Every structure is written in structure tokens, then in C-alpha cells.
């Protein structure tokens, strides 16, 4: 991987991710406003403190993920994959050479980064009691599931072939325990 691609990835991907998160926060706000849902649900303190559980689980899950894939490597592979939006075929693994990671959190979900992000947003929803965060989390989950992961998995199938096909049949996409694994 060239240094310029790595530099672009380390600059562009965090900015793009921030923009996407802001967009989904704005969409969550619009859903709440349009549907006339109260901006807060009036959670009592002990319910709000329960929000720390998905928040901590989300952070720990991401830290666990980063033991097996460095954040910089994730940014670079994300940059390379999504730079293909401009018309390069996803059936060719151009520019990506990393191995298929099926250890750590990848044993339980194929896209642990997205699960971690959704858990963080859900945790902040309960902890802060802002209804827009609930809708933002739901919209993010739908976005990841129906837009982002199919795009990524097309390239992963090209890179890893039958090995990825087998992995995807055995491991759920983002929500653990949605498939029963054969031992």
C-alpha cells in the first residue's frame, strides 16, 4: 500500500465517518420532529445509568476488535474499498491484500466495527435520554446492513472466494446469535 493512499485514508475516512454520523444524527432528529415524538422520554436516573452497559460493551467490543485489526488498517481498507464507488469493479480486489480475519470478535459477527458503533449510539441514547439517538441507531443499523455491508462483502467474496463464502454462512453479519453455529 503506497504512503499516499495511507495518508489519504487516515485523513479522509475519519472525516467521512464524522459526516455520516452527523447525517444520521440529523436524520434521527428529523424523524423525532416529524413524528412528534418527545425529544426525551424522561428516563429516571437508574434507567439512564443502565445506558452505561451498552456503552461499555461497545467500547470493549471495539477495543477487542482493534487487537486483531489496527484502526489504521481498517481506515486504509475502508478507503480502498469505498474509492471503488467511482466505478472500479468490486469483483477485483484491487489494492487490498490483508488476510481474512476470523478471530476475536470476527468469530461472532462479520462486521464487528458496525456492531460496536450501534452499541455506542444505543448506550448514549439511554444514558443521555435523547430520543433522536435511538432513531439514529436504528437508521445506522439499517444503513450498515442494507447499504454498506453488501458493498463490502462483494469485494470480500472476490478477495477470499469460497473461504469467505463459508465464513459468511457460519457467522452472522452484525447481530450475534442470529445464526446457530455448528461446533
Quote the cell numbers at residue 74. Answer: 481498517
Q: Is pLDDT of 16 > 70? A: yes
DSSP string across 24-67: HHHHHHHHHHHHT--S-----HHHHHHTHHHHHHHHHHHHHHHH
Determine phi and psi for 87, rounding to 5 degrees. 115, 0
Alpha helices in 84-130 (DSSP H): 112-128
Looking at beta carbons, which pairs linking 2-6 to residues 24 or more positions away fall under 8 Å? Answer: 5/76, 5/79, 5/80, 5/95, 6/72, 6/76
Q: Is pLDDT of 7 > 50? A: yes
Q: Is pLDDT of 119 > 50? A: yes
| Contacts for 36 with CB less than 8 Å, ≥ 6 apart | none
98 inside domain:
yes
Q: Are 22 and 89 in contact (CB under 8 A)?
A: no
Q: Would you state the pLDDT for residue 151?
A: 85
182 inside domain:
no
Q: Is pLDDT of 34 > 90? A: yes
CA distance 136 to 122: 9
> Using CA atoms in the order 29, 33, 36, 39, what is the torsion angle rounded to 10 degrees?
40
Quote the cell numbers at residue 111. Answer: 462486521
Give the confidence band of 183 by pLDDT, cuts at 50, 70, 90: very low
Q: Would you state the pLDDT for residue 158?
A: 86
Q: If you average pLDDT over residues 35-45, what whole number do you get?
A: 94
Give the mean pLDDT of the chain. Answer: 87
Which residues constitute the domain of residue 108?
A: 3-170
Q: If you average pLDDT over residues 101-115, what whole number do you get?
A: 93
Give the confidence band of 54 by pLDDT, cuts at 50, 70, 90: very high
177 inside domain:
no
176 inside domain:
no
178 inside domain:
no
- Name the residue among 175, 176, 143 with its Cα closest to residue 25: 143
Q: Is pLDDT of 114 > 60? A: yes
Q: Is pLDDT of 94 > 60? A: no
Q: Would you state the pLDDT for residue 127?
A: 95
Domain count within the chain: 1
pLDDT tens for residues 133-159? 999 999 999 999 998 899 889 888 888
What share of the chain has pLDDT > 90, as a percent? Answer: 57
Alpha helices in 69-106 (DSSP H): 71-83
CA distance 115 to 118: 5
Amino acid at each position: 500500500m503506497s504512503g499516499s493512499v495511507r495518508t489519504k485514508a487516515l485523513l479522509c475516512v475519519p472525516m467521512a465517518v464524522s459526516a455520516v454520523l452527523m447525517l444520521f444524527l440529523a436524520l434521527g432528529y428529523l424523524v423525532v420532529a416529524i413524528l412528534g415524538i418527545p425529544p426525551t422520554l424522561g428516563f429516571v436516573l437508574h434507567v439512564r445509568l443502565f445506558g452505561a452497559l451498552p456503552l461499555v460493551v461497545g467500547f470493549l467490543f471495539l477495543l477487542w476488535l482493534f487487537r486483531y485489526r489496527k484502526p489504521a488498517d481498517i481506515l486504509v481498507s475502508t478507503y480502498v474499498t469505498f474509492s471503488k464507488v467511482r466505478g472500479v469493479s468490486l469483483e477485483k480486489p484491487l489494492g487490498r491484500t490483508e488476510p481474512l480475519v476470523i478471530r476475536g470478535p470476527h468469530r461472532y459477527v462479520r462486521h464487528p466495527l458496525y456492531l460496536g458503533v450501534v452499541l455506542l449510539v444505543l448506550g448514549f441514547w439511554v444514558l443521555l435520554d435523547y430520543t433522536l439517538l435511538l432513531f439514529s441507531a436504528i437508521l445506522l443499523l439499517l444503513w450498515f446492513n442494507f447499504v454498506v455491508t453488501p458493498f463490502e462483502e462483494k469485494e470480500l467474496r472476490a478477495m477470499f472466494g469460497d473461504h469467505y463464502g463459508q465464513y459468511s454462512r457460519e457467522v452472522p453479519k452484525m447481530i450475534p446469535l442470529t445464526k446457530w453455529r455448528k461446533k
